[in-house]
Amino acid sequence: MWFVWALVSTLAWGIADIFYKKGTDETDGQSHLKIAVWVGMVMGITAIALLPFAESGFSVVSLLQNAVLYAPASLAYIISMVIGYAGLRYLELSIISPIQNASGAFSMIAMIIYFLVTGGADEISEEYSILDFVGTPFIIAGVIALAIIEKKLSSEAGDVNAKNDQHNRKYRLGVLALLFPILYCIFDTIGTAADGIILDEEKGLGLGEIDVLVLYGLTFFAAGLIVWIYMLIKNGRPYNPFTKKDITTKGTAAVAEEFGQVFYVYAMAAKPLVAAPMIASYCIVSVILSRIFIKEKLKASQYACVISVIIGIVLLGISEGIGEAAD
């Protein structure tokens, strides 16, 4: 089932990306903070709803202990996501998403090193088939190639617009705008690798999937509340997230984000090494949807990257089907 969970997460996060972009106001310096408030609300509500089903139950001591164990992953994720929201003010979605999600490849490498160091080489060879190891490079190659192409396109767009007196403000940072997806990639790599290690059923830290969803949700809720208070103090008035526009854009993005998060956790617990790069390929969904709904144009090289990722996902699907039949 890990493949189905990973596929659902991939689609959900691709859809979330579109609504993140639609909910981003390039003229609003607090746009990324408002998105963080919405995500915090949705994740907090979900965490409270799931709390009775967590292995730690209502035990405050267990909850705090687990929160400490999961802190490296949750904090890395929150930092990466807020940075990503800020980057949407300056870059097209089809540019920022592929660069950010190169983290899937880097986190896979980090997890392989960890499992090898801790004596998990035999488990890797037993749990993953040849199709997994063939399909995964297609996904990684497609995502990284797309990131390189988008970086080049972003630089070219910045150069062109810098020469135009009426250039769009989102290009005013030029190449410096690429720091947003690069920083996102770094922090997301840390979070994803930590998730793969923490959730691994054989060598993990013993946290269940529901526990992780609760801990991450409560942490993001706290972060969102802090952000809301910050805006209250800075602006002298409370931010109202329940306007029609914010509900239909930021709210929809937050719901899709949390929906994908639920399936992501279960996929990572089952097969972290291949689930991580596969789910990171949700940038492909973002690119395709941005072409359809936001009318961002794609080049032949971008389509080639999309095809590469699709081939990889198909191979992983075949591998999962063969595995299920054998069982």
- pTM of the predicted model, to two decimals? 0.82
- pLDDT tens for 219-237 read 999 999 999 999 999 999 9
> Residue 9: CB partners within 8 Å, gap ≥ 6?
260, 261, 263, 264, 267, 279, 282
- pLDDT tens for 267-287 read 988 888 888 888 888 877 877
Write down the domain spans for the chain. Answer: 2-326
Token couple for 325: 């039949």
On whether the CB atoms of residues 35 and 81 are closer than 8 A, the answer is: no
| DSSP at 169 | G
- pLDDT tens for 101-155 read 778 777 877 887 877 787 766 666 666 677 777 788 888 788 778 777 766 766 6
C-alpha dist (Å) from residue 128 to 132, 211, 273, 274 = 6, 26, 9, 9
On whether the CB atoms of residues 180 and 87 are closer than 8 A, the answer is: yes
Give the per-residue pLDDT at 156: 65
Give the CA angle between residues 37, 76, 252 to the nearest 5°: 35
C-alpha dist (Å) from residue 97 to 20, 54, 316 = 11, 32, 22
- pLDDT tens for 173-193 read 555 667 888 889 899 989 988
On whether the CB atoms of residues 30 and 299 are closer than 8 A, the answer is: no
* Distance of alpha carbon 146 from the chain centroid: 16
Region label for 119, one of left (φ > 0), alpha (ψ between -120 and 50) or beta (otherwise): left
Token couple for 108: 């896979």
Per cent of the chain over pLDDT 90 is 34
Average pLDDT value for the chain: 81
